[in-house]
Structure 1
Amino acid sequence: MGTRATYQFNLSNDAGAAPVTLYCHWDGYPAGAAEKLLHALLDKEGRDPIASFIIGNKEQAMFASGHEAYGNTEYRYTITCSPDDKADLLITFDSYEGDQWNRTATNLPLQDFIADHYGIDLYREAVIYGPDRWHTNASIAENAMSSLDEVKSKIKRWEVDLSAGDIETPPLVFMNDLVERTKTETSLNGDNETYMTIRRALVQMYFEHLHGKPWGSIHQSHVNKLHDLINECAAEDPIMMMQIQSAQPPFKLKSKAAGQRARLEPQ
């Protein structure tokens, strides 16, 4: 649909830097604009939002001198950095109605605009870890390692409570959540190394600090999920398999032949 729109990016920290404006002839209504901006979020090469937008919409995006360069546009979208966090992007957009421009929204978080006009489920699949950041593999790895440190802290606090006689629930839920989140994020960016690192580290933490300890009231599903993770590591890493098999109390790996789930038995 020939709904013309301009997209102006003002992302520089330099107050004197000129914004970059792009003109697109097609699908400039909010749902179409949200899809175009989503293409930028799906860029896996770590490019900045302007380059990502151009590459994601290369069949129609053209440079313009500004919003006023074309007199027949129906929408104007202005994307800026948040003053509080330069990694957060805000969008202001205007629509031409009758004979004048009307402000529809001012400084709306870009993720909200995309979620509202293109679909929250697709947005959640595209925007990884935040959900309010433009991400590279380096930032995904950094966030994953930071979350791993949080799990370590939770394990330490749990051990202190346990030694004091308080049977608290072990932090398996946090461990499982970190695995699932990292798996999703790295699969979108093709960064399998970070996922493998996190997975291995969590399995080692389990055997160093949690194995054979009382489970408290934790639901069996969380135990089973971690157990599946341990089996995955053992199947792919011979050294890890030997460490698991030498664990005390003995840990029974799932039998491929039997196809049955082995169980983590509390001490």
Structure 2
Amino acid sequence: METQKIAEHISTWLKDYANKAGVKGFVVGVSGGIDSAVTSTLCASTGMPTVCVEMPIHQHPDQVSRAQEHIAQLKNRFNNVCDERVDLTQSFETFKNAVPNSDNEAILNLTLANTRARLRMTTLYYIAGLHSSLVAGTGNKVEDFGVGFYTKYGDGGVDLSPIADLVKSEVYALGAYLKVPAAIQNAAPTDGLFGDSRTDEDQLGASYDELEWAMKQQDLGATSADFIEREKEVFDIYSKLNKVNQHKMQPIPVCEIPPEWK
């Protein structure tokens, strides 16, 4: 993997897109994970104003400290970087108290997790509006186009996606080249939407390395019958998630009206 060429290519792409759009720079939600760390560093490397936004909602302390370490490092490295911290915990609690509840704890917890992501999206667009900037997405290829591991109109609500053609292992390689803090490079991936220490692997049932393998196998035309034991289990996990989350990956369906009826 030619990390330097890829980093320079993405940085140039970001700058060209922003200039053509007539905006000043970028806004990135920084979570303490590798994807947002790489994305924010790439945005900063354009030389254009880059706002790193931390948005805790009952956040696990480890995630907070990693995000703060990364933001401090970026501000030391790039004079075009600034940051905002918007604690959304009270806003989240106010929302919870204003909407209907549910006796189904699993569904309630997932719905509230998605609500956190959507509150953050709203915040990012508010700050982007103040700065005449674009919201840069932080999703990688496996999340965005493989298993759909993101919230529609939450972390999936962005203006452009600089790392969405890179699988997780490639994001890590780019992170090492970009000198992302070691604490972030070594941390287990987590979406941070539940206020605890659960990882992405806990939720998905497979690691990103396994999901990358399954994504490649599906692209090669493999089926579940081609594998046994753990490989079969992982392939089935990937295939199921890829199927049920197509509504996130495909354009919004439009009901087309026959022309003669208009």
What is the TM-score with the length of structure 2 in the denominator?
0.23
What is the TM-score with the length of structure 1 in the denominator?
0.23
More strand by share: 1
Instruction: Please identify the structure whose Cα radius of gyration is greater.
Output: 1
Q: Which has the higher contact order (CA 8 A, sep 6+)?
A: 2
